[in-house]
Amino acid sequence: MPKTAMVLAAGLGTRMRPLTDTVPKPLVPLSGKPLLDHVLARLAAAGVTRAVVNVHHMADRIEDHVAGCAIPAIEISDERDVLLDTGGGVVRALPGLGPEPFFIHNSDSVWIEGGMPCLEKMIAAWDPEIMDTLLLLAPVTQTLGYSGAGDFVMDAHGLLRRRQEGENVPFVFAGVSIAHPRLFRNAPEGKFSLNLLWDRAISNARAYGVRHEGVWMHVGTPEAVREAEERLRREHA
């Protein structure tokens, strides 16, 4: 059961402008609470006790915001010198993540649960004997603010393959995964995407998925924030 998480909070948030002209994207409010707080609360509810949060854009603002967070306890991974993308960011943070499997959670991943909470479902599905990574996948038809062609095909056992050129596929990555540290064995140095390591795991039949049963919300623009707030308001009502 993963007790540690990497929260990716170092991005520039350019598509979220003008909101991110004055506040880093992880602190953009959604229903009265910063996006980052939604993520940390969900991780804490899943039993995560420690989270490493990487920072770059408006790093001081994020550091100040999480300074009082007790559950999970927060460690900062500083990327002020260079933005390392998702893969490079995790590699820099590996010493603080420890030797056990851990969550990797985008700081802007928001959803409405359906049945068992998603992170609990991922924990139940995680099998380190056969998996190097386990991705949370949302059916394209159960998303808000997403209009792409999908990312993955998932077979009956959860094994993944990538979307091919010109293909429409049923699942989109929902911003959360579990990773075993061996996923990062022989990883490149510097800036690179997690997609590089996922593709390697797919080729070795070590990448699996879990289906999101609720509604995943792609909160990437100011309009998407408004749409997500309206959907959450209706859900709570």
- Averages of pLDDT over runs of 10 residues in the chain (237 residues) are 94 84 91 92 95 95 91 94 95 95 94 92 97 97 89 96 93 97 95 97 98 90 88 82
User: How would you write 199-230 as a 3-class SS string?
Assistant: HHHHHCCCEEEEECCCEEEECCCHHHHHHHHH
Q: What is the per-residue pLDDT for 115?
A: 85
Q: For position 204, what pLDDT does the model report? A: 97
- pLDDT reported for residue 32: 87
SS3 198: helix
Helices (H), the chain: 35-45, 59-66, 85-97, 118-125, 194-203, 222-236
For residue 14, what pLDDT is reported?
83
115: left (phi over 0), alpha (psi -120 to 50) or beta: left
Distance (Å, rounded) from C-alpha 137 to C-alpha 95? 28
CA 202 to CA 198: how far, in whole Å? 6
Structural domain span for residue 161:
4-236
Neighbours of 149 (CB within 10 A): 12
CATH label of the domain that carries residue 195: 3.90.550.10
Report the alpha-carbon distance of residue 72 to residue 40 in Å, rounded.
7
Q: Which pLDDT belongs to residue 140?
A: 94
Q: Strands (DSSP E) along 119-205, which ranges? A: 133-139, 143-144, 152-154, 160-162, 171-179
- Tens digit of pLDDT for each residue in 139-165? 999 998 888 899 999 999 999 999 999
Which residues, at least 6 apart from 95, have a Cβ–Cβ distance to it below 8 Å?
none
Number of domains in the chain: 1
